[in-house]
Structure 1
């Protein structure tokens, strides 16, 4: 079923709602920002290796020792930058969200929901949904990063902040295009539709065989709603 989980490197199914143990409070801050080329290379290697390992072994089996072994570095080298695996995942999550968000901002600049017909709006929605799906699919460990940000409380704020920023940006652009719609209603609409589109991305990444159907149905629903809201035909 769509959205019912993901799979590890052996094809074993992992339920999306399976509880994931995580501490209530954990240090998530990067210890040192690398300034030299060698340090930056180490920093980026840690992130890339972590993303790759997530796709292979999943979150619960992932450990800093495993990351160090794959990256060919010592534990002190890793701990110079990150205090634990949660901090690494937070940085990966932030980067994935930033990449997704920038695609949406570019889409808004290209017109976004400001279209003159339902068909144009549907095509516009399909365009941005496909872009975000592609970004997520090609990001190292993208499916697992989305999952851990959804189920681990200490990482959830990265996801929440990203969604809110996107919804606010779409609302701001829509307000200029459709000044007759009350701001309070437009705020609710953009938040709901933003959550729906990102949920569709998560479903599509977890169930790639259904990606085309999931993407199109989600875009039809969003385009239909904005068509009715704005009065375009």
Structure 2
């Protein structure tokens, strides 16, 4: 009789234990199911966000490319600057000798007596080197024009203008010819899509320079009209540069004189 209650107690205990384990199993299963639901929801949300993510655009690509360009090393130490300048000098010499189509980075390195890794530390390709040459050439002309403008700009709409303007055309041409590779740099700015932005940027800088000089004195034109007339003059100046280099059937003295007469006759800065 005593054995039966003991056995019953053992059975009851085992029953309770089994029930408890079942409850724990259900809890684990429920937890796993909940986690699976959370994971599925997260994956769905991620997929939705990817689907909604805007596609790459030229503007974003340009920004990304700009970020990559910004990682290029800027020479700071004396040795680095010397290396950089050797590459620029070698590129300018070779550009004047062989033109931009036959110019190669290997040839530049050989002329500069440097290894290709030294070049690629600062430039991605030959076009970036030509861009640096173009920037330096335009900077020389820009600074020289500032001096000319300060000295002669006040007489730009007088009878002296053609003579003074012809003198500037002559100065601009001399700067190009004395710059290593200058002639081919001008040709590259006109012919290479890689350098179109350089040409446009400097044309606008010349225009802005003239605009700041003349705006206080010329009050009968709107900002838009004055800037437009000056922009035409800037463009015309680049055309004269190219004609002086390419056209051998017109004497330069004649070219500069006639260009100045045409420009001053067609585009006066004032309304009078």
Q: Which runs of 5+ in 2 are unaligned?
A: 1-64
Query: Which of 144, 163, 169 matches 1:123?
Result: 163
1:142-194 C-alpha deviation (Å, 9 max, x unpaired): 11111111121221111100000111221232222221133322222111111
1:81-101 C-alpha deviation (Å, 9 max, x unpaired): 112101111111111111111
Q: CA deviation at 1:30?
A: 8.2
Give the Cα separation in 1 of the matches to 2:182 and 2:79: 26
**8 A contact 1:30–1:87 mirrored in 2:** no
2:143 corresponds to 1:102? yes
TM-score (norm. length: structure 2) = 0.69
Give the Cα separation in 1 of the matches to 2:82 and 2:134: 19
Partner of 1:137: 177
Change (3 A) 1:116 1:29: closer
Q: Which moved more, 1:34-43 or 1:117-126?
A: 117-126
How many residues matched? 207
Query: Which of 184, 197, 202 matches 2:242?
Result: 202
Partner of 1:65: 106
Query: Which of 69, 76, 94 matches 2:117?
Result: 76
Question: What is the RMSD of the two structures over their aligned residues, measured on CA atoms?
Answer: 2.4
Give the Cα separation in 2 of the matches to 1:227 and 1:80: 49
Give the Cα separation in 2 of the matches to 1:197 and 1:99: 15
Q: Which runs of 5+ in 1 are unaligned?
A: 1-24
Secondary structure of the 1:179 match is coil
**8 A contact 1:122–1:223 mirrored in 2:** yes
Partner of 1:86: 127
- Which of the pair has more CA radius of gyration? 2
**8 A contact 1:118–1:224 mirrored in 2:** no
**8 A contact 1:104–1:128 mirrored in 2:** yes
Question: Structure with the greater relative contact order (CA < 8 A, sep ≥ 6): 1 or 2?
Answer: 1
Give the Cα separation in 2 of the matches to 1:152 and 1:116: 33
Change (3 A) 1:57 1:30: farther
Higher helix residue share? 2
